[in-house]
Amino acid sequence: MLKQLFNKAFLLLSQFAADPEDTEEWRIKKVIGWFSVITGIPVYLGYALLYIAFKEWPAALAAISGAVLFILGILVYGVFRYRNYAVIVTYIFITFALVQTMSHVLLGGFTQSGMVLVWLVLLPVYTLVMYKTRQGIVWILLVAVIYLGVAFLEPYYLRPTNNIPPAVITAMYVVNALGVGSFMLLSVYYYVWRNEMLSKLLLSEQNKTEALLSNMLPKEIAAILKNENRVIADHFDGVSILFADVANFTPMSATMTPTELVELLNDVFSCFDTMVEKYGLEKIKTIGDCYMVAAGVPRQRSDHAHILTRLALDMRDHTRQHSFQGKQLVFRIGVNSGPAVAGVIGHKKFSYDLWGDTVNTASRMESHGTAGTVQITEATYELIKDDFICEPRGVVSVKGKGDMNIWSVTESRA
C-alpha cells in the first residue's frame, strides 16, 4: 500500500519534472531532484520557526531565504518553463550550500548549530543520483573545501554561542542526522527501485524482441545476428525445397475483399506453420499465395527429402479435407532437392532466404504442377523412392530448365 502511494506521488511529480523527450533514466533523476527541492521547503520553514522561537533572527532569515529561493526555482522551471535542467540544478545546489554554510556560521559553528552542515553531504550524493557522475565528483571536492574552510575559520567566528538551549541543540543533532539519512534513503531507494523496474521492463522487451526475432529467423541465425557482425551465407550440399501455391488464386481473389483475402491466407498458412513446426522444418517466406519451406537448413539433416515430402502430403491432404473461410482451396506443391546457399542479406527488414538452381527448380515444380498433387524432381525421387509411392509423369518441358523427368508423390509406403 505504501509503495503504491509512493509510486503514485512520484508519477504525479514526473509530469512536472520531466520533459517528453527525456529517457526513463533522466525522468527518474529529475523526479528525485524536484522531490528533494519541494520537500526541502517545509524543512527550511520548520528550521526558521525553531530559530525564531529562540530569537536567532539571522539564522531564521537564512532558512526563510532558502525556502524562498527554492520556490523561485520551482516557479522558473515549472511556471515560466525555463527547462535548462543543468542551470537549475546548479542554482539549487549553490543556494543549498550557501544557506547551510550561513546557518552554520551564524549559529556559532559545528557544535552550536547542531551540525547543520551535515546536510551538505546530500550535494554530491544527489548529484550522482539525480544528475551526472562527473559533477558529483566536483561537488565532493567543493563540499570538502567548505568543511575544511569553516573548520579553519571556526575560532574566528563573531559569536561562538547562540540562544538555543543545549538540550535543543542535542535534539538538532539527532534531527539533522536522521533528516540527511532519510533524504538519502528515500532518494537512493527510489532510484534503485525505479531502475529495477526499468531493468525488468527492458528484460521483458528484450524477451519480446528475441521471440519476434526467433519467429522471423532460425534460432541459430538469430544468435549469430545478435553476437556477430558478419555476412551470413552458408553452402549446403543437400537440402530440399518446397513451394506451395493456391491453384486458380487470381480469379478467386477477384471476388473477395482485401480483408477477406488476408484472413483466408492467414487461416491456411497458420495451419501450414503448425505442420512445419511439427516436423522441425524451416518456413522461409510467403509471397502472396505462395508458401516456401526448406529442410536441411540451417541444421543439416540426412532425411531432408523424406521429411519434406511427408509435410507436402500432409499439406495436400489437409487442404483436401478442410475448408478455409468457407472456401475449398487446392494447392500445387513442388519439391526439389540438391545444393543451395542460405543466408541473410541487408540491414533492414532482413530475412533468412535460399538461393541457387535447386530453389529455382523447386519453384518450377510448383508452377508446372497439377492442382492437388505433390510434384517432385528426379533428384528428390532418387532420395525417397523406397519410402513413398511415386507415379512418373514422364518428360516435361520446364521453363528455364528444358526437358526434365518428373514424378508425383501419391502416398507414403509406411
Grade residue 198 by pLDDT with cuts at 50, 70 and 90: low
Find residue 175's DSSP bridge partners. Answer: none
Kindly report which listed range (59-68, 190-199, 271-280, 349-358) carries the lowest average pLDDT score: 190-199
Kindly report which listed range (65-74, 237-246, 313-322, 343-352) carries the lowest average pLDDT score: 343-352
Cell 558478419 belongs to 230
* Mean pLDDT within 3-14: 71
The cell for 45 is 520553514
Taking 80 as the threshold, does the pLDDT of residue 186 lie above it?
Answer: no
Are 371 and 330 within 8 A, CB to CB?
yes
Give pLDDT, residue 157. 86
Contacts with 252 (C-beta within 8 Å, 6 or more apart), sequence order: 246, 327
Share of the chain above pLDDT 90, in %: 50
**Chosen CATH of 230-412 out of 3.60.20.30, 3.40.47.10, 3.30.300.30, 3.30.70.1230:** 3.30.70.1230
Cell 527541492 belongs to 37
User: Distance between CA atoms of 284 and 267, rounded to whole angstroms?
Assistant: 18
CA distances for 281 relative to 300, 304, 410, angstroms: 11, 9, 21
Q: Where in the chain is the domain with CATH 3.30.70.1230?
A: 230-412
* Mean pLDDT within 389-405: 88
Grade residue 314 by pLDDT with cuts at 50, 70 and 90: very high
Whether the link from the prior residue into 42 is cis, omega within 30° of 0, is no
Taking 70 as the threshold, does the pLDDT of residue 226 lie above it?
Answer: no
How many CA atoms does the CB half-sphere of 405 hold within 13 Å? 8
Quick one: residue 281, left, alpha or beta (phi over 0 = left, psi -120 to 50 = alpha)? beta
